[in-house]
Amino acid sequence: MSGEREVVIAGSADVVGVRQLVRSVAVEIGLSLVDQTKIVTAASELARNALVYGGGGDVRIEIVTNGPRRGLKLIFTDEGPGIPDIEQALTDGWTTGGGMGLGLGGSRRLVDEFDLVSEPGKGTTVTVTKWSR
């Protein structure tokens, strides 16, 4: 994959597609099997969150570099209701949807860089990056 790719998340099949594309790019840039699994798991959780809580959205997938290191940067965006209390949302066990509440906090632990921007009524953007070792 050269450059970047954007994928619309409008249904559960799109979540599967995001997982497959992220795994493919992770292999391409040489992430270890453990790091592939971590970024794919985070991508799956974040795509599912965009679909379930944001009413759908999209993800931009980018290959990034930092000196000799290559990384995989994922930017998930939705135009849903937003997150009123980000710190609470990042707390393990917190959920508004009856799930396990591991999505955002768990995703943050699986990646090297994590940024979440959200405002009630204006949607959410989550940016994650996983670097090769």
Classify strands 124-131 and 69-78 as parallel, antiparallel or unpaired. Answer: antiparallel
Strand partners, 58: 8, 77
Per-residue pLDDT, averaged over 119-124, amounts to 93
- Single out the residue of 21, 126, 120 nearest to residue 76, CA to CA: 126
Q: How much is the pTM?
A: 0.92
Q: How many domains does the chain fold into?
A: 1
**pLDDT per residue as tens digits for the range 65-86:** 999 999 999 999 999 999 988 8
For residue 60, the domain's CATH number is 3.30.565.10
Kindly report which listed range (12-16, 40-44, 79-83, 98-102) carries the lowest average pLDDT score. 98-102
Q: What pLDDT score was predicted for residue 100?
A: 46
- Single out the residue of 100, 102, 108, 20 nearest to residue 59, CA to CA: 20
The boundaries of the domain holding residue 40 are 4-131
E strand or H helix at 111: none
Kindly indicate the confidence band of residue 1, based on its pLDDT and cuts at 50, 70 and 90. low
